Amino acid sequence: MNNNRILYLPIIEPGEFHENAVRYKRGLLDALIRAGYEVEQCDYLNIHTSPYVLFDRIRTSITQWQPDLLLTQLHGPDIIEPDMLRVLRELRPAMQVVNWSGDSWEHSLVADGMLKLLRHVNLQLVASPAVLPRYEEAGIEAAYWQIAHEPSIVPLPDMPTYDVVFLGNVIDEKRRKMLEMLRELPDVNVGIYGDWEHADGHNTYNFAEGESLYRNATIAIADNVYPDTQSYISNRPIQAMAAGGAVLLHQHVPGMFDLSGWVAGVHYIEWNNFDDLRVSIDYWLKDGQLASRKAITQTAKAHVEVHHSYDRRVEELFGELLPQAEKA
């Protein structure tokens, strides 16, 4: 099918960091445009003054602009309800609908309301493949589609240099304890950026600041917030690897190779618990590991550039995933 016109509904959260997200979270949008597609973006979370206002906005775009593809990022049926999506599809039966859930909340991805919504899409894409068997049981066409690197679109700012850097918000007590542990490391200069009360700053969606921090640091830390429930990685390790500066120390993730193509010891260093992490930090900060650090960071950066760009994701979507869904 010819998908030249795309109506794109990305998740751009309202609130403090909305302006940053609108300005800098452009990776998929720009990749679609580079690939030759006409794209109209609808900031649906921020025009949701009422369901009727949102419905009228999307209905107008579909009836007047006649998109070939409706590409949404919906994590639940609360904003765009199943009946609303059904009616929108009926406005243009030739229009395909693809939803991408780039998060990891399994309970919401397979909740009854979400499954009802997904019965009105041609293809559901997820960054957490653990839910795919549930979709198969429900008769919903679905596939794995990983998050990708958000490139900086402005010059990199001057940011501090740290031995160890962590970017991320405090989303549970385990992460809080990890940040407290990092702060207590003797003779290690640690930078923490997120919504923790003792953080050095907060640069959510400011990918240029994040890249500068990762480039300047010796070590970048990433954890696994779902060690026992599902296979998932966030965008943080992808951003860290793409920067090409810090060597990444990532907590063990089940199925890491299937999720990313990364091999421990080649693209990153794996740790399991805080004791492992302390030992790894001490080891990889040593001057004698400079050559090994550079070899790993260069290999990781090259891999991300080839396999984890949004240009590659667009190729996957239109060259592999949509054709497979059409045959199903």
d(CA 118, CA 129): 16
- Report which residue type is found at 129: P
Rounded to an integer, the average pLDDT of 201-210 is: 94
Confidence at residue 1, expressed as pLDDT on a 0 to 100 scale: 46
The pTM is what?
Answer: 0.94
Q: Specify the residue for token string 């480039």.
A: 215
The 10s digit of each residue's pLDDT in 99-110 is 999 887 777 899
The 10s digit of each residue's pLDDT in 161-183 is 999 999 999 988 999 999 999 99
Q: What is the CATH number of domain 164-307?
A: 3.40.50.2000
Does residue 7 sit in helix, strand or coil? strand
Q: Computed from CA positions of residues 169, 171, 176, 177, in that sequence, does the dihedral angle turn out positive or negative? A: negative
Rounded to an integer, the average pLDDT of 200-218 is: 96
Report whether CATH 1.10.1740.110 matches the domain 5-148+309-327. no
d(CA 121, CA 72): 10
Confidence check: pLDDT of 49 > 80: no
Greatest Cα pair distance in the chain: 64
Spatial neighbors of 276 by CB under 8 A, at least 6 apart, are: none
Confidence at residue 47, expressed as pLDDT on a 0 to 100 scale: 73
Where exactly are the structural domains of the chain?
Answer: 5-148+309-327, 164-307
Confidence at residue 17, expressed as pLDDT on a 0 to 100 scale: 81
With cut-offs at 50, 70 and 90, classify the pLDDT of residue 328. low
The 10s digit of each residue's pLDDT in 110-169 is 999 999 999 999 999 999 898 999 999 999 999 999 999 999 999 999 999 999 999 999
Asked whether this chain's domains 5-148+309-327 and 164-307 adopt the same fold, the reply is yes
Q: Specify the residue for token string 């609808």.
A: 42
- Beta-ladder partners of 60: none
Confidence at residue 3, expressed as pLDDT on a 0 to 100 scale: 60
Q: Specify the residue for token string 């790993």.
A: 296
Question: Distance between alpha carbon 152 and the CA centroid of its chain, in Å?
Answer: 15
Confidence check: pLDDT of 272 > 90: yes
